[in-house]
Amino acid sequence: MTRLGKVYGRTPAQFAAEAVALAAADAGIELAAVDGLLTSSGMTGGISIDLQRDLRLADLKLLSHVQAYGSTAGSMVAIAAMAVQSGMADVVACVFADSPLQPERRSSAVYGTRRAGAGWWGLLGASGIVGANPMYALAARRHMERFGTTSEQFGHIAVAQRAWAALNPAAQLREPITLADHQASRWIAEPFHLLDCCLVSNGGIAVLVTTAERARHMARPPVHVLGWAQSHPGRYLRSNPDFGLVSGAATAGPAALAMAGLRIADVDVAELYDCYTFTVLLTLEDYGFCAKGEGGPLAASGVLGPGGKLLVNTGGGQLSGYYMWGMTPLSEAVIQARGDGGARQAERHDVILVSGNGGVLDHHATLVLGSQQAAA
């Protein structure tokens, strides 16, 4: 990973190229050994299969731009795993980068203008529903009304993740917060306070996917991809009894664990996509860490955060660590699986569950990673 956060003056493509080069160096291989490249871009775009040229990679056997919103990272790793399994490619680099932050420019200058949109999408915006904040707020409110989930319960997730971030040198927000700070933070889209929402970061992160045999001869201990699955319910803006109550994680999670031959009780660490605190709560339920509707009480029970029984988003996640879409949970999972977590390292880190979530809970990808090739 590159330096992350308020790192200015560089394009997403530059971050992406640096991230791939850093991943190759970390693995102790020449960049030229990469024969597959999967790219993913964020808010500001700017990344395409042209990254091959920037990296001067010749004779690639796999090259594609992948887009599944917040579930892209998990999708990329699954595609790469299938490519190396089939022999199509040998070493596949998967990279995400973005640089939405600009110095001296408030986000309101970007988002505050009201121009006429067109068509159905323009109509949604004209109605006042602009961006992800109100859409996820509508999802969260439905969960609250159905199950009695509260803002304070969301707050426990924010507080726990900030405590993890305090132990992560790469995290952007490391100052501890309290439940009172969460409740006092301004409304973004009620029921979401500011501290329910992810931050924004510049930077890039890349992972290399190769065969277990090849990985054995690389510089760093390999992290094994034990299982993967996706779920795309396909009910965006449509009548949807599950909206805000059940996401694709409910099917993708068990499917990925089944591929790995594992159960939810075998999971040591969970790195969950956290565009909002609510997304973490919903994913915990959908993966089966608790019964449906009990995510709120679970979050409030004190099991989250350093020293808790349930190790979730151990680097601070996107709420407090860095916002690199699905690469945030994936990168922390790799760090934990390798035992590189320093002050925040999980004692047991054999099985790590990783989620990706995109759209308005419309796209989900699950990965099961392990420190051993066959799960212990």
Binding site for another protein (CB under 8 A): 114-120, 122-129, 133-135, 137-139, 141-142, 145-146, 187-191, 237-240, 243-244
Tokens 């909206």, located at residue:
243
**Measured from the CB atom, is 47 or 140 closer to another protein?**
140
Eight-class DSSP state of 172 = S
Q: Is 107 helix (H, G, I), strand (E, B) or coil?
A: helix
* Residue 274 amino acid letter: D
Burial tier of 181 (Cβ tally within 10 Å: 0-12, 13-18, 19+)? middle
Whole-number minimum distance, CB 143 to another protein, in Å? 9
**Measured from the CB atom, is 34 or 281 closer to another protein?**
281
Establish whether 236 is a catalytic residue: no
Whole-number minimum distance, CB 247 to another protein, in Å? 15
**Measured from the CB atom, is 117 or 302 closer to another protein?**
117
Eight-class DSSP state of 366 = E
**Measured from the CB atom, is 56 or 115 closer to another protein?**
115
Whole-number minimum distance, CB 376 to another protein, in Å? 43
Establish whether 323 is a catalytic residue: yes
Pairing of strands 192-193, 203-210: unpaired
Whole-number minimum distance, CB 243 to another protein, in Å? 8
Whole-number minimum distance, CB 122 to another protein, in Å? 4
Per-residue tokens: 97? 């980068």
- Pair 94, 73: CB distance under 8 Å: yes
Per-residue tokens: 176? 């501890």
**Measured from the CB atom, is 293 or 308 closer to another protein?**
293
**Measured from the CB atom, is 131 or 261 closer to another protein?**
131
Q: How many CB atoms lie within 10 A of CB 111?
A: 11
Q: How many CB atoms lie within 10 A of CB 306?
A: 13
Q: What is the DSSP string of 198-223?
A: ----BEEEEEEEE-HHHHTTSSS---
* Residue 275 amino acid letter: C
Q: How many CB atoms lie within 10 A of CB 184?
A: 12
Whole-number minimum distance, CB 165 to another protein, in Å? 27
Please pick, among 136, 273, 287, 322, the residue that the annotation labels catalytic. Answer: 273
**Measured from the CB atom, is 58 or 118 closer to another protein?**
118
Whole-number minimum distance, CB 273 to another protein, in Å? 20
Whole-number minimum distance, CB 354 to another protein, in Å? 29
- Pair 273, 283: CB distance under 8 Å: yes
Which of 138-142's residues contact partners 24+ apart within 8 Å by CB, and which partners?
138/244, 139/243, 139/244, 139/278, 139/360, 139/361, 140/191, 140/192, 140/244, 140/276, 140/278, 141/191, 141/244, 142/243, 142/244, 142/245
Please pick, among 69, 276, 322, 323, the residue that the annotation labels catalytic. Answer: 323
**Measured from the CB atom, is 123 or 180 closer to another protein?**
123
Rounded CA separation 289/253 (Å): 11
Q: Note if the bond before 191 is cis, omega within 30 degrees.
A: yes
Q: Report the catalytic residues.
A: 273, 323
